[in-house]
Every structure is written in structure tokens, then in C-alpha cells.
Amino acid sequence: MPARLFNPVAMYQGLPNDVYFIALARFVLGLGNFIIPFMVLLLTQKLGHSTIVTSALAMGVTALYLLGNLIDGKVSDSFAYKK
């Protein structure tokens, strides 16, 4: 038990290789979430757009991202199971 507290990576050792690939893929896809703040900074500071237009665009992109996740979850739940 103390080894788990002092070495948090120890609990992830010995897992199947598929788990590591999924974790790596989720990490890379999660890096895409940093696009929205950089897009907001670029549009407001470098290109001179108003904050209202930029925030509306960022909110729209975030809403589409959320909607896509919900649709993806529904599709994967309905087609993923073997018959």
C-alpha cells in the first residue's frame, strides 16, 4: 500500500497494451482542446476582431464539440456491441 502512495505510476504497470494505446490517443486528442484558447487570442489580439464575435465563435465551436461527443457516444453504444 505505501508503494502505491509514493509511486502513483506503479498502479498502471502491467496493464494490457491496448490500455496504453487508448491513453496515448486520448492524450493526443485532448491536446486539441488547446486550440480554442489560442484561436480566441489570435482573433482578438492579432486580427483585431471584437471580443463578442470571438467569444460567440468559441462558444459555437465548444457547443459543436459537445454535440459531437454526445452523438459519438450514442453511435458507439448502438453499434459497438457484438450480436
The DSSP line for 26-83 is HHHHHHGGGHHHHHHHIIIIIS---HHHHHHHHHHHHHHHHHHHHHHHHHHHHHSS--
pLDDT tens, position by position, 42-55: 999 999 999 999 99
Q: What does pTM read for this prediction? A: 0.59
Mean residue pLDDT across the chain? 85
Where along the chain do its domains lie? 2-79
